[in-house]
Amino acid sequence: MPRFVRAVALFALLTVVMTWPQAPRLATDAHEHQDVFFNMWRFAWIAHALSTAPSRVLDGNIFYPEPRTLTFSDAMPVEAVIAAPLLWSGVPPVLVHNLMLLAGIVLSAAGIFMLALHLTGSRAAGVTAGIVFGFAPYRFEHYMHMELQWTIWIPWAFWALHRAFETGSRRYAGMLGAFVALQFMSSIYYGLFLATLLALCALLLLCGMRKQRLKSGVSALAIAAVTAVVLAAPYAVPYAATKHRVGARSEQEVLRYSARPWSYLDATDTNYLYGERAATRGRSERRLFPGILPLLLALSGLLLLRPSNEAIAYLVGLVAAFEMSLGFYGYTFSFLYHYVPIFDGLRAPARLGIFVMFFLAILAAYGHAALEAAISGRARSVLLVAISAVLLLEYWVSPLRLVPFPNDPPPLYAWLARQPRGVVAEFPMPAPDTLPGIEPRYAYMSTFHWMPMVNGYSGYYPPSYLSRLGPMNKVPDNSAVEALVRAGVVYVIVHPDLFDAGRRNDVLADISSSSQFVELGEFDDGLGTAAVFRLR
């Protein structure tokens, strides 16, 4: 464990450097993206529900009156449970968000350090693996996606797999199942991808075992599978019910978020060395450049060392992850989408790019260890510094685009928190073809009053919400009033400054002159002035 603690300290320092200027602005600023609002809403809701009504923790206050609204996206229960004590103790929500986000990077890098150390016996090789897995362009492409930074349990699952096969211990088998379940409850995408690729690698390792160890290996996998299912099932069942209701992702949507082979040539547009090309070629979620040095190191390891069964398994895992990331441009994911029901709820096969980086990081560690074995003394330290410096340069990004996010409620929402409980509707609402609009901010602001609201933002949008958008956007017409009444709305909040110029001057006048609404006052909403009405 001292090695792990030192690894955490090292990668924490590197994370501060690689995500600059995030560190001095931890308590106030975050990435300029609507998912930051969504992350903070999920954390706040779970902390609120755990302290008030734990049995209804999945019934978030958005998309009223829909049940299980957290299951329209990844609820991140592991991250949220860890964050809850911080929120209960009054730590600012933006600070909690950023600490949890960066913790995902730091602990992922430290975890693969331990795995690479176990496989190669080299701490320097572990550092190389940690840099590759922790700071590849994929991380910065998804800097706003909390659950996609939490790859913490992936290296530990493979570590437990190796230990279970090496020792035949049921303890390690149980740990393997627990790590898979924890990854599933940290990120559903990664949990499913991990289970699939781990099974493939495990079968390859079993094929290389002697007969006397084969039985204990199969037994370990069975124990791990049962453990993972038992731990993850209570979380998976509500998702299965929601998926049955909302249906599968469309093939067109999956195709849009499938990687192409050349996606692995594109870094993020903020990358210092390679970003200019990304600005013209790369598309969102498909900037998967692994760096040049990791490929050279992996090749060195395969050529200089006699590849072990473990190295071959990681090489096959890399190829499989790459092919699966191609989605409908490949074969494996297309098969899984059509014949394994749970996979048709995943829209972004390109997110398998993090597993390509995981396997590549381990192969690069083998390469580093091979080069290290060929030299001695101070040259090994020089090698470590040189490799680390080149990797960090390849992954270096221009200063992150950070903007302030509110930690405290604007006067509007502080006032609303003191009012009798009632359903809220905030305007403007987006049209179905302009989602999400300002909905993520509305959801986050609800954490200061916890009224149920018809607005919402998530990975899926329930049919009831989508069907209301058309009529409600005609407010204060009769069709809009009828839709509001049917939804049980009590408070109507209008933000005139957020409307298009064509309606900005008229919307308040139209609502104020309607006999269906009673004005309760005007308040600062943090962006301008908003008016609040009660529906008669």
More confident position, 98 or 483 = 98
Q: Average pLDDT in the 361-387 region?
A: 95
Q: What is the DSSP string of 271-300?
A: BTTTHHHHHHH--TT------HHHHHHHHH
pLDDT at 487 over 70: yes
Q: What 3-state DSSP class applies to 398?
A: coil
What does the DSSP 8-state code read for residue 517?
A: E
Tell me the mean pLDDT in the region 348-364.
98
Q: How far apart are CA 65 and CA 455, in angstroms?
A: 10
pTM: 0.95
Distances (CA, A) of 314 to 62, 119, 469: 42, 11, 48
Question: Where are the domains positioned within the chain?
Answer: 2-27+92-236+263-395, 411-535
Q: Residue 502: is its pLDDT beyond 80?
A: no
pLDDT tops 60 at residue 280? no
In the predicted structure, residue 412 carries a pLDDT above the cut 80: yes
pLDDT (mean) for 303-327 = 94
Q: At what angle do helices 378-395 and 2-18 cross, to 10 degrees?
A: 40
The CA-atom distances, in angstroms, between 301 and each of 113, 129, 202 are: 17, 13, 21
How far is 225 from 105, CA to CA, in rounded Å?
27
- The three-class DSSP label of residue 127 is helix
- Which pLDDT band, with edges at 50, 70 and 90, does 512 fall under? confident
Q: Is residue 500 predicted with pLDDT exceeding 90?
A: no
Phi, psi of 350 (to 5 degrees): -60, -20
Task: Please say whether the dihedral angle defined by the alpha carbons of residues 24, 26, 28 and 33, taken in this order, is positive or negative.
Answer: positive
Please give the mean pLDDT across all residues of the chain. 94
Asked whether 494 and 482 are in contact (CB, 8 A), the reply is: no
Q: Which of 536, 469, 487, 495 is nearest to 413 (CA)?
A: 495
Residue 278 has pLDDT above 80, yes or no: no
187-237 residue pLDDT tens: 999 999 999 999 999 999 999 888 778 889 999 999 999 999 999 999 999
Question: What confidence tier does 304 reach under pLDDT thresholds 50, 70, 90?
Answer: confident
Average pLDDT, integer, range 443-469:
95
Amino acid at 349: P
**Distance between CA atoms of residues 133 and 108, nearest Å:** 7
pLDDT tens, 119-175? Answer: 999 999 999 999 999 999 999 999 999 999 999 999 999 999 999 999 989 999 999
pLDDT at 461: 93
Instruction: State residue 279's pLDDT score.
Output: 47
- Mean local confidence (pLDDT), 349-363: 98
The answer on pLDDT for 45 being more than 60 is: yes
Please state whether beta strands 489-494 and 423-427 pair in parallel, antiparallel, or not at all (unpaired).
parallel
Measured N-to-C along each axis, helices 170-186 and 77-88 cross at an angle, to the nearest 10 degrees, of 70
Q: What's the pLDDT at 211? A: 78
Side by side, the strands of the sheet bearing 517-524 are 423-427, 489-494, 529-535, 517-524
**pLDDT at site 282:** 54
334 close to 344: Cβ distance less than 8 angstroms: no
Per DSSP, the three-state class of 461 is coil
Q: What is the pLDDT of residue 281?
A: 57
Judged against a pLDDT cut of 60, whether residue 307 lies above it is answered with yes
In the chain, what percentage of residues exceed pLDDT 90? Answer: 82
